[in-house]
Each structure stands twice: as C-alpha cells, then as structure tokens.
Amino acid sequence: MLELFRRLDGSAGRLPVPWWLRALERGDISTRAEGFEFEDAVHSLLSKRRGWIFVPWSTAGEIGYWEYVPSDRPPMTVPTTVTLTDQHPGWLNILPAQVDSGRTVPVPEPGIDGLSGLLPRIESW
C-alpha cells in the first residue's frame, strides 16, 4: 500500500488518505500498526470520559474525529473537537468550540499523555 501511495501521490499531498499513511511515508512512524495503536489509545482515553463522542465520518480519506458534546452550546456552532493529524509528531489537533467561522487555529497536542493532562482544561472551555 505504501509503495502504491508513493507512486500515486508521495509527499505532494493531493490524495485523500489517513494521517498515518502520510506519517508512514515520511518515516515519522515505522508501521501502519503504530498508527492504529495511537488511534486505539485516543479512543480508549476519550471513550471513558463523559461527554466525548466519536464521529465516524470526516473528510475523504480521513478517519473520524472526537467531539466534546457539552461544548456544543450557543453561541458556539462547532463543539470542541480532537482530530488526528500528520502535521506534527503529537498526531493530535484540538479545536476549541467555535462559531462557524472556520478561522479557529488548531492547538497542536503532544500525544496521548499531553491530551490526558489537558482534558480537564479542554472540557472547561
């Protein structure tokens, strides 16, 4: 699969693919299983906390994302969201609850331990 991705797209970034495939292509993770293990760890952490739900659909090629339902209240139109990303080695972006302006800058988060430590603060936004 990786070789096919490299032939079709490589680092050009045009094909819609999961975060872990781009990370694997760059050598940031060693195996597809490593990406799946990270996704499973995020799922394990957030599914145990009240108010977090997994939204299984996302943009083409991506897996779903996590929303913090209590943050979905007026005037906010988009709840606090945790997404997986290949943009940095923390593999997570946190988007605070927002009005639907599309201008909120994601907060890069350094992995599971960082997310775990920040959850009380994130859930209070």
Residue among 48, 42, 49 nearest 20 (CA): 42
Between CA 118 and CA 105 the distance in angstroms is 17
| pTM of the predicted structure, to 2 decimals | 0.84
> Which of 45, 41, 11, 7 lies closest to 26, judged by CA?
11
What pLDDT, in 10s, does the model give residues 36-78?
Answer: 999 999 999 999 999 999 999 877 667 789 999 999 888 888 8
Do 24 and 35 touch, CB atoms closer than 8 A?
yes
Instruction: Give the number of other CB atoms < 10 A from CB of residue 30.
Output: 10
Chain mean pLDDT for the chain = 86
Q: How many residues belong to the chain?
A: 125
Pair 66, 119: CB distance under 8 Å: no
